[in-house]
Amino acid sequence: MLTYKSYIMEEIINTSEIVQEAINVKAYLIYLPIALLLTVLVASILFKNSKIFMLDIFHGREEIALSTNRLFEIGFYLMNVGLALFILRMKDIFTHQEMVEHLSLKIGGFCVFLGIMVFLNLYMFFRGKRKSSQHVSQGNTVEL
Amino acid sequence: MSLDYSHITHISYIILAISTAIYVGQGFYRNGEPLLYDVFKHHPHWVKPINNVLLTGFYLLNIGAIVMYVSDGTGVHTANAFIEFLAIKLGTVYVVLAMIHFGNIATLFYVKNNVNL
């Protein structure tokens, strides 16, 4: 009698878990497009404006400047898409309120990381500019 | 029934991951050539071999990691687990590859500025 009751309880728990677990996929399907869209947006802004830096670092040689820019852009995409995927996994979500909270954590954290990457890239560009002007024999004034 | 589902996930994973690998590899190969020509200004005949070796290394790492993780995905039977599996495996591969890529570029700039070729 006792085992029959516990069997019924197990069935109820299992079926209700299967109905509730599906919301995880919804959260993933909301998080992924937002994260990828953000990456594409930030990358297009950053690398559209870094072409000037590249032209400056390579002293006006257009081909190498644009291709190095593209190289950095692909690397940027690789790293950020990889990280967005890596942090995708979320705990089992059972209510929509929990979903919003977990989503806000992931998307917010990813935005902060994107911001850090942008500033890191800017630092790299400025450093490249400084290094390249050090190797020029005439003195160059830094134009802002 | 469950066998068909896991076959579809394996095949779609391999196609997706390897096509991105080839796309990114070709992007690095084509866009890295002018930079290599600049670094090895006095040895232009070094550029194509070095580029090819780098491309081969990239393909080995990328496609090797992808295929290695296929065996890991045998327990994947729900859409939830499939998305998580794809995300974590592809994510680690891409982050490691990006770090190696930026390391390569840093090495090239170091060679350009500090080494007499």
Distances (CA, A) of B39 to A123, B91, B113: 22, 31, 9
Which of the pair, B75 or A114, is modelled with greater confidence? A114
Query: A86 and B99: CB-CB below 8 Å?
Result: no
pTM exceeds cut of 0.80 = yes
Q: Which two tokens stand for residue A21?
A: 């677990």
Cα–Cα dist A92/A98, whole Å:
9
Indicate left, alpha or beta for B78 from its phi (over 0: left) and psi (-120 to 50: alpha): beta
Q: Which positions 61-100 of B are in contact with A (Cβ < 8 Å)?
A: 79-80, 83-84, 86-88, 90-99
Q: Is A87 on the interface with B (CB under 8 A)?
A: yes
Nearest to A78 among B24, B88, B109 (CB): B24
Q: Concatenate the DSSP letters of all residues of B44-98 into one string.
A: GGGHHHHHHHHHHHHHHHHHHHHHHHHGGGGG--SHHHHHHHHHHHHHHHHHHHH
Distances (CA, A) of B32 to A2, A63, B44: 71, 11, 14
Q: What is the pLDDT of residues A47-102, one digit of tens each?
A: 999 998 889 888 889 999 999 999 999 999 999 999 999 999 888 888 889 899 99
Tell me the mean pLDDT in the region B31-57.
Answer: 93
Angle at CA A108, nearest 5°, toward A103 and A111? 130
B31 SS3 class: helix
pLDDT confidence of residue B58:
94
Q: What is the pLDDT of residues B65-88, one digit of tens each?
A: 988 888 877 677 777 888 888 889
